Amino acid sequence: MIEAAEELGKSASVSEACRVLGVPRSSLYWARQPELPPAPQSTSHRALSVEEKTDVHQTLDSERFRDCSPREVYATLLDEGVYMCHWRTMYRILEEHGEVQERRNQLQHPAYTKPELLATASNQIWSWDITKLKGPFTWVYYYLYVILDIFSRYVVGWMIAECESGELAKELITATCVKEEIDLDQLTIHSDRGSAMQSKSVGQLLVDLGVTKSFSRPYTANDNPYSEAQFKTMKYRPGYPDRFGSQENARAWARDFIHWYNHEHHHTGLGLMTPAMVHHGLVKAVYTHRQQVLRAAYEAHPERFVGGMPTPPELPKEVWINRPQSDSRAVPPPAPTEPGAQPVSRMAGSQALRSLDTAEHLAIAERAVEQPSWTEAFDINFSPELSKNA
């Protein structure tokens, strides 16, 4: 465009040519300036001469100083009454010759493989970890060991001790495998790289039991997400104390919490089932019962369900630790609302949804009192917790 403006400027004014072509006049005037040769770089009168630089370089590369740092060479020569230059100048001379580099062996962290674990049923993959519980005084802690089934989120084994120990972990894993009737080559146990997790006693035990061991990558907390999430649920639970007065006090609190977590906590990742429902194979019965309740509610007041017949949230078919990106299985997109929830209708002229009156509230409350709980309705008996370590 500058050349076109120059050509047009020969037959018209420069201003008119630049206006027509949309070229700033300053750019045209700048292009007319002749290219100036680069300004010569002046050498400071304080700089070393070429002969002095060569002398310094030869001294640094000499057999005496070739394994010494410039600071060491500078101090040694200074003690001998010789001053050649400052050590920063020595570094610059070495850098000009490409001789500044790290000479010490540096630790190279190996590339750890990302664990990719898939569970489609209970007792396929367990995740276990240890967390600290504050004791009555500063620097006093109790250690809570928890083994979690990642598919059902069920705490299959736990105990509280005064230290992290591979021997204690070995006893807990052994008792839990016996209680859950684990067969050879059935189970994978995943953990981080703590001292107890990598202990020789635990590793030999897993070999004897035919259990595959899996470890998180170092400094990667999200490689063990289910244990971390369970600990967060525990420590953010209302009533979690700032400190525990004794080991017995911590054990009693943990026993109540784990019973609540296993049998009463309706887990969002389990389709609002409790871990016990999933672990003990009660999902189908509970899901059918919920469908019947929702169907009865829909038949009683269909006008309140704009989206049609409501359905209970479903249990996921598979659970991953680090789902591979190349996995071809389709992942359903997240629902715009919670499963079973109905969107609010904003259609003009639609029939107004009638809210429950007082009599209906009372009738629902009376039915809830008269109807037995789902555990009684299905005659469910849960196995007791791990009493030895609880």
pLDDT in tens, 157-201: 999 999 999 999 999 999 999 999 999 999 999 999 999 999 999
Can you tell me whether residue 104 is helix, strand or coil? coil
In this structure, the answer to whether residues 245 and 138 fall within a common structural domain is: yes
Positive or negative CA dihedral for 250, 243, 262, 115?
A: negative
In this structure, the answer to whether residues 128 and 256 fall within a common structural domain is: yes
Task: Classify residue 212: in a domain, yes or no.
Answer: yes
Task: Identify which has the larger pLDDT, 384 or 100.
Answer: 100
The least confident of 25-29, 126-130, 222-226, 352-356 is 352-356
Confidence of residue 387 (pLDDT cuts 50, 70, 90): very low
pLDDT of residue 37: 77
Residue 371 lies in a domain: no
70 has pLDDT over 80: yes
367 confidence band (pLDDT: 50, 70, 90): low
Using the 3D structure, point to which of 265, 286, 321 is the last residue of a domain: 265
Would you say residue 11 lies in a domain? yes
C-beta of residue 211 within 8 angstroms of C-beta of residue 188: yes
Find all residues with CB under 8 Å of 240, minimum gap 6, and list them: 234
pLDDT of residue 103: 63
Region 205-220 average pLDDT: 91
CA 270 to chain centroid, in Å, comes to: 20
Interval 343-366 mean pLDDT: 46
Neighbour-count burial for 155-188, b at 16+ CB within 10 Å, e otherwise:
bbbbbbbeebbbebbbbbbebbbebbebeeeebb
246 & 157 share domain:
yes
CA-based nearest residue to 254, from 363, 348, 386, 122: 386
**Is 274 a member of any domain?**
no
Residues spanned by the domain of 130: 117-265
Tokens of 332: 């359903």
Distance CA 364, CA 291 (A): 17
pLDDT digits (tens, 9 = 90+) for 268-285: 999 999 999 999 999 999
Q: In what order do the strands lie in the sheet with 141-149?
A: 155-161, 141-149, 125-134, 188-191, 212-215
User: Percent of the chain beyond pLDDT 90?
Assistant: 62
Give residues with Cβ within 8 angstroms of 55, minimum separation 6: 84
Residues 310-347: pLDDT tens digits?
999 999 999 999 998 865 454 555 444 444 444 443 33
Could you tell me which residues are beta bridge partners of residue 142? 133
74-114 pLDDT per residue, tens? 999 999 999 999 999 999 999 999 988 876 677 777 788 89
Residue 357: band (very low, low, confident or very high) from pLDDT cuts 50, 70, 90 = low
Q: Which of 231, 246, 265 is the last residue of a domain?
A: 265
- 353 pLDDT more than 90: no
CA separation for the pair 217, 13 (Å, rounded): 72
CB atoms within 10 A of CB 347: 7
Report the largest interatomic distance among the alpha carbons of the chain, rounded to a whole angstrom. 106
Give the whole-number percent of the chain exceeding pLDDT 70.
83
- Residue 172: CA count within 13 A, CB half-sphere: 29
Together in a domain, 200 and 252: yes
- Token code pair at residue 213: 């061991």
137 lies in the same domain as 235 = yes
- In the predicted model, is pLDDT for residue 221 greater than 90? no
Q: Can you give the CATH number for the domain in which 164 is found?
A: 3.30.420.10
Quote the pLDDT of residue 350.
38
Please give the pLDDT value at position 74.
94
Is 321 within the bounds of a domain? no
User: Are 216 and 126 contained in the same domain?
Assistant: yes
Rounded (to 5) percent helix, strand, coil in the chain: 40, 10, 50
Predicted local confidence at residue 24, as pLDDT: 86
> Would you place residue 356 in the very low, low, confident or very high pLDDT band (cuts 50, 70, 90)?
low
Instruction: Name, in order, each residue with C-beta under 8 angstroms of 373's C-beta and a sequence gap of 6 or more.
Output: none
| Nearest CA among 256, 299, 291 for reference residue 271 | 291
DSSP secondary structure letter of residue 105: P
Are 290 and 378 spatial neighbours (Cβ–Cβ below 8 Å)? no
What's the pLDDT tens digit per position in 241-255? 999 999 999 999 999
User: Does residue 195 form part of some domain?
Assistant: yes
Q: Assess if residue 277 is contained within a domain.
A: no
In a domain, 202, yes or no: yes
Higher confidence at residue 308 or residue 16? 308
pLDDT of residue 90: 94
* Residues 63 and 158 occupy one common structural domain: no
> How many structural domains compose the chain?
3
Residue 324 vs residue 43, higher pLDDT? 324
Judgement on whether residues 85 and 176 belong to the same structural domain of the protein: no
Burial code (b: 16+ CB inside 10 Å, e: under 16) for 57-69 equals: bebbeeeebeeee
Residue 227: pLDDT above 50? yes
pLDDT score at 31: 81
Residue with the bigger pLDDT between 134 and 218: it is 134
Domain limit, last residue, from 238, 265, 292: 265
Q: What is the DSSP string of 43-103?
A: PPTTSPPHHHHHHHHHHHTSTTTTTS-HHHHHHHHHHTT-----HHHHHHHHHHTT-----
What per-residue confidence (pLDDT) applies to 352? 39
Q: Which residue has the higher pLDDT, 25 or 311?
A: 311
- Tell me: do 90 and 133 sit in the same domain: no
Count H helices and E strands in the chain, helices first.
14, 7
The strand pair at 188-191 and 212-215 is best described as: parallel
164 plus 88 within the same structural domain: no
Give the pair of three-digit tokens for residue 222. Answer: 């999200």
Residues 358-364 have a mean pLDDT of 52
The answer to whether the CB of 176 falls within 8 A of the CB of 386 is yes
The three-class DSSP label of residue 259 is helix
Q: What is the pLDDT of residues 47-61, one digit of tens each?
A: 899 999 999 999 999
Provide the pLDDT for residue 344.
40
Query: 76 and 191: one domain?
Result: no
Beta strands in 244-294 (DSSP E): none
Looking at the fold, whether 194 and 64 belong to one and the same domain comes out as: no
The pLDDT of residue 383: 40
